[in-house]
Amino acid sequence: MKMFNWETYEPDEYSKSEHAHFVDLTTRSYITAEGHATKHTDDPEFLRLAKAAARIAKTISGGPEEDIPVSGFKAYVPYPVQAVWRKTDDGEDFKIWIKQPLFIDENAFKAALEKIHFVNTHREELHFEQLAEGIEVQTINHGPIKSENCQAFQVLNKTIKEGNYKRTRPNEHREVYIDSLPVTPDSLVLIRFAIDLNGQPEPDMVRN
């Protein structure tokens, strides 16, 4: 059976287009971790937790080969790390999310935790949650986010204004690290703003 690869089978959800478009992402399982950073994606705290979460996701994706109990397991490529960033007075709070396939449950997560020896991360810092992203508008950014004046933010804000939509959480945004971490000037980073349609007609959007 062919391995499931999110880049191949979900290209619109993880679009690399510089044009803004919409997604409606319903409740799924995620590996999560939370922290605070002052250097955005270069911050050691962020990179530490992202690495730990990605290691768990990679172990789970091994399924039976890693002795992880998964009913109806199908081979797949782990989903990319993403993070929600929220501005604070002294930097940013972040929450790391890594989506899991529908057949992965909390038992698989717990089994993976037991198999990994973390050097600088406590197991209690990693979680398995059911979360929904909701309706978002997204576009691609080249390299790390340096300021809110970056091209991706301008594209999304213009789309929201022209459609008469509303950002539901103006002080935060989501980044999906399509090209993995750490982020380099050549990395593709998908940027998403959560929105409310504000009574406007529903635009074309991808649902998952």
* DSSP-derived secondary structure for 97-139: EEE--TT--HHHHHHHHHH---SS--GGG-EEEEE--EEEEEE
Give mean pLDDT, residues 121-140.
98
pLDDT value for 127: 99
* CB proximity list for 41: less than 8 A, separation 6 or greater: 47, 83, 144, 145, 175, 177, 181, 182, 183
pLDDT value for 86: 98
Which residue type is seen at 8?
Answer: T
Which is the CATH superfamily of the domain at 28-131?
Regulatory factor, effector binding domain (3.20.80.10)
Separation in Å, CA 177 to CA 54, 126, 171, 182, 199: 12, 19, 20, 9, 31
In the chain, which residues fall in CATH 3.20.80.10? Answer: 28-131
Selection from 156, 175, 170 nearest residue 22 by Cα = 156
What DSSP string runs through 132-167?
--EEEEEEEEES----TTSHHHHHHHHHHHHHT-EE
At 131, is the pLDDT very low, low, confident or very high (cuts 50, 70, 90)? Answer: very high
pLDDT value for 1: 59
pLDDT value for 2: 78
Separation in Å, CA 45 to CA 34, 35, 120, 121, 150: 10, 7, 10, 10, 24
Q: Using the predicted structure, report yes or no on whether residue 19 has a pLDDT greater than 80.
A: yes
pLDDT value for 149: 87
Tokens of 189: 């980073």
pLDDT value for 168: 98
Q: Using the predicted structure, report yes or no on whether residue 95 has a pLDDT greater than 70.
A: yes
Q: Using the predicted structure, report yes or no on whether residue 150 has a pLDDT greater than 80.
A: yes
Q: Using the predicted structure, report yes or no on whether residue 161 has a pLDDT greater than 90.
A: yes
- What's the predicted TM-score (pTM) here? 0.96
> H/E element holding 61?
helix 44-61
